[in-house]
A and B are shown apart, each in its own frame.
Chain A
Amino acid sequence: MAMTQTTPRQLAERLRVHFGERIVHADVSHGQVTIEVTPAHLVETCTALRDDLGFRFAQLTDLCGVDFLSYGEGEWSTSETATTQGFGRGVTGDSAPGRFDWEHRQRHPQFLRRFASVVHLLSFEHNIRLRVRSFAPEDALPVLPTLTGVWPSANWYEREAFDLFGIVYEGHPDLRRILTDYGFVGHPFRKDFPLIGNVEVRYDPEARRVVYEPVASVTPRVTVARVVREDSRWSTAREEAADDWKDN
């Protein structure tokens, strides 16, 4: 057991010193440390995080995919024009997730690449957590190295991220779909995959079997528009609370 509890800031600093150029950046927010690692260094860095006595991240608690397409996009502009335009017309735009085509996809300056794999690590010995993010270099075919060799628990999580986001984990021993149906087409958690899906099933009494058809029984409907608001109270609150954030 560690003598004293490592604070998130100390951990971030130690990571910066220990890994140097191998990590893109390490930052602290809400008492949690996030590091970004390039795919080329991912396995090597994670192995060190697991084995190095100062870290000892014995468990990969969680791994998930994130699709940063349309990050920060609202459906309803809250500038001064909003009051004259009203709500109903506000949501007919095509900027919102699930309702734009590939050519008109939105890019957020902070997240130029689309798919990331986010790993949450836990060190029982030092009672610390760490978030490791790495972006797939290609948007069209996102490929990342597998972590199954480092932590066996990555196996199903990577299958899940492959299934839902189409992130290919190179070297994974058994990269099959896991949550979606047998024979499912597409990756449903991508932001350009419609919420209502692409196909629906019904029993066809004439053919005497279940048939797949394009969705016709439901239409996409927005009950509450997606609105991005920058509230000054939050930034004030953040600054005030910055020093006394509890660990996790």
Chain B
Amino acid sequence: MTDPHDQAGEIRSYTMNFGPQHPAAHGVLRLVMEMEGETIVRIDPHVGLLHRGTEKLAESKPFNHSIGYMDRLDYVSMMCNEHAYVRAIEQLMGIEPPERAQWIRTLFDEVTRILNHLMWVGSNALDLGAMAVFLYAFREREELMDCYEAVSGARMHATYYRPGGVYRDLPARMIEYKESPWHKGKDLKRMNAWREGSMLDFLDAFAEDFQHKVDEYEELLTDNRIWKQRTVDIGIVSPEQAMALGMSGPMLRASGIEWDLRKKQPYAKYAEVDFEIPVGTRGDCYDRYLVRMAEMRQSALIIRQCVDWLRKNPGPVMVENYKVAPPKREDMKESMEALIHWFKLFTEGFSVPAGETYAAVEAPKGEFGCYLVSDGANKPFRVHLRAPGFAHLSSINEITAGHMLPDVVAMIGTYDLVFGEVDR
């Protein structure tokens, strides 16, 4: 604070610093706030503290090497970021992944959406003073992270989607908890109850049960007086504002605009699954909460439809194009050409035809887009990643001016910010 009182002891507007190290800043956000008492006059966010130059790094590496960087952008909705990037490459190359791969992508996009929204509801509730939701949400997050691990070997940074499909088919067995001094006997049996079959069986059981889990979170929050006092009529965004300020995803839908890329510009297999778009009416923090809760329920429904299809339809999960995908191990033992392809693919990568494209997916936070310019080389000429959080945060001054200081925390929470994607 700089000199809040003048000689007469009268309070004037002062400037306050918030962050970059603050538990409610969701990472590294610094806000310089001009305040009149406890009321916000102007907010100037300082971002970029997590800037790693992902887009420039991608220019120096073959296309496939950068998939892992995408996980690290929005590190709570990893596979959706990968999806935008691989889709951009696929569009430029004119390849289409096999049907099963597209269903797997749909499945994991929705798993990711639940992962993200769980993280969001937990941390947002924590910001506003409710501890328990966080613990409940992380219980389910753990189960879904195990699915990530089962398909890719990594709990978070999966690098599972590849141009032309996905890295490998779904595992036949779900990973189980091992016996330990803390988990044994009945306890262990309960924890492994869903895990005796394949990963699809596990996800099916999870998605069926998940509706009750969402009921539990809603029990804690939806009619909670404190929660409503903190969120109802806070940070109202009008539909016109939402469009003009570049908002997307739940931020846009809570303001009453029925816009979801999964429906409007379908990709993967979203045109073939049945789901609804939850829409808000008032555009306040409470509506955004309701929209995200309803989205989790819809995601669970989509997961069950994907599981159903994937159970019935085995098949390849990667294109049979050796310029893009490695040949089978056994082919390499026999075929000289397969060996050459393998070698060229892993030493040089693949060249993408010259051109430019913009591929967008409905990531949990909003529209995550990848603008890719290729000049025909094995490395991208320019990658620009359109992160929903960047556009959302840029509106904070317009939305929160006139609010109280604690409402800024509610607003940061409802933006669902992750600085990996804002700063890139």
Q: What is A's interface to B at a CB cutoff of 8 Å?
A: 29-30, 32, 34, 58-62, 64, 66-67, 71-74, 97-98, 108, 118, 120, 124, 127, 129, 131, 151-153, 155-157, 160, 177-181, 188-189, 195, 223-231, 233-235, 237-238, 241, 247-248
A153-B265 CB under 8 A given contacts A59-B243, A248-B358: no
**Which of A32, A98, A228 makes the CB contact (< 8 A) with B377?**
A228
- Asked if B375 is at the interface of the complex by the 8 Å CB criterion, the answer is yes
Chain B residues within 8 Å of A62, by CB = 358, 369, 371, 384, 386
For A248, the chain B residues whose CB sits under 8 A away are 265, 358-360
Cα A224 to Cα B377 with chains together (Å):
12
A-B contact pairs, 19 of them (CB 8 A): A61-B246, A62-B386, A97-B59, A118-B384, A127-B264, A152-B245, A178-B48, A179-B51, A195-B57, A195-B60, A224-B379, A225-B348, A226-B379, A228-B377, A229-B351, A231-B323, A231-B353, A235-B353, A248-B358
**Contact A34/B359 with A71-B375, A153-B391 known, Cβ cut-off 8 Å:** no
Indicate if B36 sits at the interface (CB-CB under 8 A): no
Contact A29 B355 (CB under 8 A): yes
Set of chain A residues within 8 Å of B382, measured between Cβ atoms: 66-67
> Known contacts A72-B376, A120-B358: does B353 contact A238 (CB below 8 Å)?
yes
User: Which residues of chain A come closer than 8 Å to B360, judged between CB atoms?
Assistant: 61, 248
| A181 lies within 8 A of B48 (CB) | yes
Q: Do A71 and B56 touch (CB < 8 A)?
A: no
Of B68-76, B90-98, B100-108, B112-120, the one with at least 4 CB within 8 A of chain A: B90-98
Q: Are A238 and B48 in contact (CB under 8 A)?
A: no
Residues of A within 8 A of B55 (CB): 189
Do A224 and B353 contact each other (CB < 8 Å), given the known contacts A153-B244, A156-B391? no
Docked complex Cα distance between A129 and B264 (Å): 12
Which of chain A's residues have a CB closer than 8 A to the CB of B375?
71-73, 108, 228
Q: What separation, in Å, do the CA atoms of A93 and B421 have in the docked complex?
A: 35
* Cβ–Cβ contact A124 & B243, under 8 A: yes
Interface of A is mostly: loop
Q: Chain A: which residue is nearest B393 at the CB level? A: A156
Bound form: Cα–Cα A181–B390 in Å: 17
B273 within 8 A of A: no
How many angstroms between the C-alpha atoms of A59 and B91 in the bound complex? Answer: 23
Interface membership of B328, Cβ < 8 A:
no
Q: How far is the CA of A223 from the CA of B346 in the complex (A)?
A: 12
Verify B369–A224 contact, CB threshold 8 A.
no
* Interface of B toward A, CB cutoff 8 Å: 47-48, 51, 53, 55-57, 59-62, 65, 91-95, 243-246, 248, 257, 259, 264-265, 323, 347-349, 351, 353-360, 367, 369, 371, 373, 375-379, 381-382, 384, 386, 390-391, 393-395, 398, 423-424
Cβ contact of B61, chosen from A224, A231, A247, cutoff 8 A: A224
Q: Which of A59, A124, A153 contacts B394 (CB 8 A)?
A: A153
New A-B contacts (16) at CB < 8 Å, excluding given A72-B376, A156-B391, A181-B48: A30-B355, A34-B356, A61-B248, A62-B369, A66-B373, A118-B371, A124-B257, A129-B358, A131-B358, A153-B245, A224-B349, A224-B378, A226-B377, A226-B378, A227-B378, A238-B353
CB distance from A21 to the nearest CB of B (A): 24
- Min C-beta distance of B68 to chain A, whole Å: 15
For residue A236, which residue of chain B has the nearest CB? B94
Asked whether, in the complex, the Cβ of A58 is within 8 Å of the Cβ of B243, the reply is: yes
CB distance from A221 to the nearest CB of B (A): 10
- B61, B367, B423: the one within 8 Å of A179 (CB): B423
Residue of A nearest to B378 (CB): A227
Q: How far is the CA of A118 from the CA of B384 in the complex (A)?
A: 10
User: Which residues on A sit within 8 Å (CB–CB) of B349?
Assistant: 224
Cβ of A35 to closest chain B Cβ, rounded Å: 13
- The answer to whether A59 touches B246 (Cβ under 8 A) is yes
A59 to B: closest C-beta gap in Å? 5
Cα–Cα, bound, A135→B257 (Å): 34
A124-B257, A224-B62, A224-B348 are known contacts. Are A180 and B355 too (CB-CB below 8 A)? no
Other-chain contact of A64, B243, B248, B371 (Cβ < 8 Å): B371
Cβ-defined partner of A59 (8 Å) among B60, B244, B351? B244
Q: Is the CB of B358 within 8 A of A32?
A: yes
| Beta-carbon contact of A74 and B377 below 8 Å | yes
Contacts of B386 in A (CB 8 A): 61-62, 120
- Complex-state Cα separation, A61 to B357, whole angstroms: 14
Taking a contact as CB atoms under 8 Å apart, the answer to whether B354 and A72 are in contact is yes
Chain A residues, CB < 8 A from B95 = 237
CA distance A227 to B376 in the complex (A): 8
Contact with A233, one of B323, B359, B367, B369 (Cβ below 8 angstroms): B323
Contact present for A32 and B357 (CB under 8 Å): yes
Taken together as a complex, chains A and B put the C-alpha atoms of A188 and B351 apart, in Å, by: 25
Chain A residue at minimal CB-CB distance from B248: A61
- Closest Cβ–Cβ distance, residue A201 to chain B (whole Å): 14
Most buried by A among B62, B246, B367, B398: B246
Assembly CA distance A226 to B376 (angstroms)? 10
Residues of chain B contacted by A66 (CB below 8 angstroms): 373, 382, 384
A151 touches B358 (CB 8 A): no
In the complex the two chains form, what is the Cα distance from A152 to B399 in whole Å?
Answer: 13
Closest 3 pairs between A and B when the two form their complex, measured CB to CB: A153-B246, A179-B48, A156-B394
Q: Which residues of A contact B47 (CB under 8 A)?
A: 178-179
B310 to chain A, nearest CB (A): 23
| Chain A residue at minimum C-beta to C-beta distance from B370 | A62
Q: Which residues of A contact B376 (CB under 8 A)?
A: 72, 228-230
